[in-house]
C-alpha cells in the first residue's frame, strides 16, 4: 500500500471518528433533555388564555397560593372581563440568573406566554458562574451548530480565560453559545461547575471526585460536590460519603462541617449542633470564620431564638470579631424588637466590612422602619451605588440574554425590580430600553411601610433592605403588577 492510500485511510478514519463523536454527543443531549424530571406540571392553557410566565428565585416561588404570581392571577381575572388570565409560577428557590434561564426555551415552548415577568439577580452575588443554552442555535456557517465545534470553542475560551486570569464577555454581541467562566478555578473545577449549571450532575460530580481524590483536603471541590448532592436532595448518599472520608481523614474539620450541613438538610438539628460544638472546642479552628450562623440556626430549631441569641452573645463576649456574626446577632435583637442593640450590631458589622450593600441595606431598613427617613435614604443610596459597582458580567449577560430571547420570539418582557430598590439599577443594564416594561416596587413599599411596619410586608431581611414577602407584601407586588399588565393588554386591544 503506497503512502497516499495510507494517508487517505487515516484521514477517512479521522473523519468517521468525528462523525461518530458528533452523533454520540447529539444522542446524549437528546436523552438528557427527554429524561429531565420537571418540577412542575404542564399548565392546562385553554385557547384564548392570556398566559403570563413569572420567573425568579425564592421571592417568586415562595408563598404557595399566596405567592405574588398566584395572587396576580386572581387579581387579573377579577378585574378583567375581556379575557381569562393564566399566571405560571416558575420561581426556583436559591437560583441565580443562570439557573433561572437554564430551561427558558422549554418553558416558553410549554406555556406559550404572551408576557414574561422576571424578578431576579439577588443570588448572583453567591455564585458567579456561566450559562450555555443547549437549545439555541448559532447563526452562521453550518459547522457552528456542531456539538464538537461548540465543545472546542468552549474549551478554547476556558483555556484563554485561565491564561489571562479573566473571562470577559461582550454582552451586547454575545451569541447563545458563549460562556462566562469563573476566572480563578482550576480546569476540572471550572468544567464541573459549568456542567452543574446545565444539570449534568453525574459528569460534574465525577470531576469533583477526581479533584478530592488528588487532594482529600480540597475544600472548594468538596463544597461544590456537596452542592451537587444538595441540589438533588441526595442527603443520605452525601452523609455516607462524608462518613467514609472522615474514617480515612478524621482531622478534616471541613468535612465535619459539611456533614453537619447534611444533617441540617435532613432536619437533624441536634446531631448537627453536636458536630458544630465539637468543632468549636477544637483549638486549631479559625474562630473568626466558624459557621456561627449554622450553629445558631440549629440552636433556634431545637431550643428557640433565645438560645441562638445567647450563643452569638457568648461568641462576641469571647472576643470574636466577625461582621457576619455581628449581623446575625443584630438580626436576633431585631426579631426581639430590641432596636437599639440591633443598631449597635449593624454598625459594628459595617465598620468591619465597609461599604457592603447588604449591611447598608439592613441598617437602612431598620432606620426606615423607625421613621428615620433621611438616614435611611442615605444608606439606601449608598447601597445602590455599591451594587452598581459590583454587578458582574454574569448578571448583565443573563439579563441581556433574556431580552434577546424574548425579542426574537415576540414575547413582551416585563423586568421587575425588587421591593425597596430603585428601578434605575435595572434600567442602567440595558442600552435598548424602549421595548421593555420596567416595574418599580420601591415607592409603593416605602409608602406602605411608612404607615405600617417592615415586618408586615417581609418575613425576613435576607437581602438587607428587603426579604421574602408576607401575604401582604406579595399582594402589594401583585397589585402593582396587575395594573401595569391590564394597561398593557388594553393598549394591545386598542392597537397602540
Q: pLDDT, tens digit, for every residue of 77-98?
A: 999 888 999 999 999 988 888 8
175 found inside a domain: yes
Q: In what order do the strands lie in the sheet with 412-416?
A: 85-91, 50-56, 115-119, 412-416, 436-439
379 found inside a domain: no
Of 214, 240, 272, the domain-final residue: 214
Q: What domain range includes position 204?
A: 132-214
Is the backbone of residue 180 left (phi > 0), alpha (psi -120 to 50) or beta? beta
Helix (H, G, I), strand (E, B) or coil at 85: strand
One domain, residues 145 and 87: no
Q: Could you tell me if 356 and 323 are in contact, meaning their C-beta atoms sit under 8 angstroms apart?
A: yes
20 found inside a domain: no
One domain, residues 77 and 114: yes
| 104-141: burial string, b at 16+ Cβ within 10 Å, e else | bbebbebbebbbbbbbbbbbbbebbbbbbbbebebeee
CATH code at position 489: 3.40.50.1110
* Dist. CA 487–CA 496, nearest whole Å: 11
Query: Which run of H or E residues covers position 118?
Result: strand 115-119
One domain, residues 115 and 138: no
486 found inside a domain: yes
148 found inside a domain: yes
One domain, residues 150 and 124: no
| Number of domains the chain contains | 2
Quick one: CA dihedral 484, 487, 490, 495, positive or negative? negative
Of 214, 237, 271, the domain-final residue: 214
Q: pLDDT, tens digit, for every residue of 193-234?
A: 878 766 788 999 999 999 999 999 999 899 989 988 987 889
The values of phi and psi at residue 109, to 5°, are -70, -40
147 found inside a domain: yes
Helix (H, G, I), strand (E, B) or coil at 42: coil
One domain, residues 110 and 142: no
* Dist. CA 31–CA 402, nearest whole Å: 26
In sequence order, the 6+-apart residues with CB closer than 8 A to the CB of 23 are none
pLDDT per residue, tens digit, the chain (496 aa), is: 566 666 766 777 776 766 776 666 565 555 544 443 433 444 444 556 899 999 999 999 999 999 999 999 999 999 988 899 999 999 998 888 888 998 899 999 999 999 999 999 998 864 443 333 333 333 445 544 454 544 444 344 334 333 333 333 343 444 443 334 344 344 778 888 878 766 788 999 999 999 999 999 999 899 989 988 987 889 999 999 999 999 999 989 889 999 999 999 999 999 999 999 999 888 677 766 688 899 999 999 999 999 999 999 999 999 989 999 999 999 999 999 999 999 999 999 999 998 899 999 999 999 999 999 999 999 999 999 988 877 777 788 889 999 999 999 999 999 999 999 999 999 999 998 989 999 999 999 999 999 899 999 999 999 999 999 999 999 999 999 999 999 998 888 877 6
Q: Could you tell me if 97 and 121 are in contact, meaning their C-beta atoms sit under 8 angstroms apart?
A: yes
One domain, residues 111 and 197: no
Neighbours of 417 (CB within 10 A): 19
One domain, residues 148 and 79: no
The C-alpha cell that represents 352 in the structure block: 468591619
One domain, residues 205 and 139: yes
The values of phi and psi at residue 51, to 5°, are -95, 135
One domain, residues 400 and 487: yes
322 found inside a domain: no
366 found inside a domain: no
Amino acid at each position: 500500500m503506497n503512502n497516499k492510500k495510507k494517508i487517505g485511510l487515516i484521514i477517512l478514519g479521522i473523519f468517521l471518528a468525528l462523525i461518530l463523536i458528533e452523533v454520540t454527543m447529539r444522542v446524549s443531549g437528546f436523552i438528557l433533555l427527554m429524561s429531565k424530571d420537571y418540577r412542575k406540571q404542564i399548565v392546562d392553557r385553554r385557547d384564548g388564555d392570556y398566559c403570563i410566565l413569572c420567573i425568579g428565585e425564592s421571592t417568586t416561588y415562595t408563598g404557595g397560593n399566596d405567592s405574588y404570581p398566584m395572587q396576580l392571577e386572581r387579581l387579573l381575572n377579577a378585574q378583567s372581563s375581556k379575557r381569562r388570565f393564566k399566571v405560571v409560577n416558575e420561581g426556583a428557590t436559591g437560583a441565580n440568573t443562570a439557573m433561572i434561564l437554564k430551561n427558558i426555551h422549554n418553558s416558553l415552548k410549554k406555556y406559550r406566554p404572551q408576557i414574561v415577568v422576571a424578578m431576579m439577580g439577588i443570588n448572583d452575588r453567591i455564585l458567579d458562574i456561566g450559562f450555555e443554552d443547549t437549545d439555541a442555535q448559532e447563526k452562521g456557517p453550518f459547522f457552528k451548530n456542531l456539538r464538537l465545534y461548540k465543545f472546542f470553542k468552549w474549551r478554547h475560551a476556558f483555556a484563554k480565560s485561565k491564561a489571562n486570569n479573566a473571562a470577559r464577555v461582550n454582552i451586547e454581541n454575545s451569541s447563545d453559545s458563549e460562556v462566562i467562566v469563573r476566572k480563578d478555578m482550576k480546569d476540572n473545577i471550572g468544567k464541573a461547575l459549568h456542567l452543574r449549571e446545565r444539570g449534568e450532575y453525574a459528569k460534574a460530580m465525577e470531576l469533583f471526585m477526581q479533584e478530592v481524590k488528588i487532594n482529600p483536603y480540597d475544600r472548594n471541590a468538596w463544597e461544590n460536590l456537596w452542592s451537587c448532592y444538595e441540589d438533588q436532595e441526595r442527603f443520605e448518599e452525601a452523609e455516607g460519603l462524608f462518613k467514609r472520608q472522615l474514617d480515612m481523614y478524621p482531622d478534616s474539620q471541613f468535612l465535619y462541617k459539611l456533614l453537619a450541613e447534611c444533617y441540617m438538610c435532613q432536619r437533624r438539628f441536634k446531631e448537627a449542633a453536636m458536630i458544630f460544638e465539637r468543632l468549636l472546642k477544637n483549638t486549631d479552628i479559625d474562630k473568626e470564620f466558624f459557621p456561627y450562623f449554622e450553629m445558631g440556626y440549629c440552636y433556634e430549631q431545637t431550643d428557640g431564638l433565645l438560645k441562638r441569641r445567647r450563643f452569638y452573645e457568648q461568641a462576641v463576649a469571647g472576643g470574636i470579631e466577625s461582621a457576619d456574626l455581628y449581623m446575625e446577632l443584630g438580626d436576633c435583637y431585631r426579631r426581639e424588637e430590641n432596636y437599639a442593640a440591633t443598631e449597635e450590631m449593624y454598625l459594628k458589622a459595617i465598620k468591619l466590612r465597609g461599604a457592603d450593600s447588604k449591611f447598608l441595606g439592613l441598617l437602612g431598613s431598620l432606620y426606615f422602619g423607625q421613621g428615620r427617613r433621611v438616614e435611611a435614604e442615605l444608606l439606601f443610596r449608598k447601597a445602590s451605588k455599591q451594587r452598581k459597582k459590583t454587578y458582574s458580567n454574569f448578571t448583565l449577560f443573563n439579563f441581556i440574554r433574556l431580552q434577546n430571547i424574548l425579542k426574537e420570539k415576540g414575547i413582551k418582557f416585563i423586568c421587575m425590580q425588587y421591593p425597596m430598590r430603585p428601578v434605575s439599577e435595572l434600567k442602567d443594564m440595558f442600552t435598548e430600553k424602549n421595548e421593555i416594561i420596567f416595574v418599580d416596587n420601591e415607592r409603593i413599599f416605602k409608602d406602605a411601610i411608612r404607615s405600617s411596619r417592615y415586618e408586615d410586608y417581609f418575613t425576613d431581611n435576607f437581602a438587607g433592605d428587603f426579604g421574602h414577602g408576607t401575604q401582604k407584601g406579595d399582594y402589594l407586588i401583585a397589585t402593582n403588577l396587575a395594573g401595569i399588565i391590564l394597561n398593557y393588554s388594553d393598549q394591545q386591544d386598542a392597537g397602540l
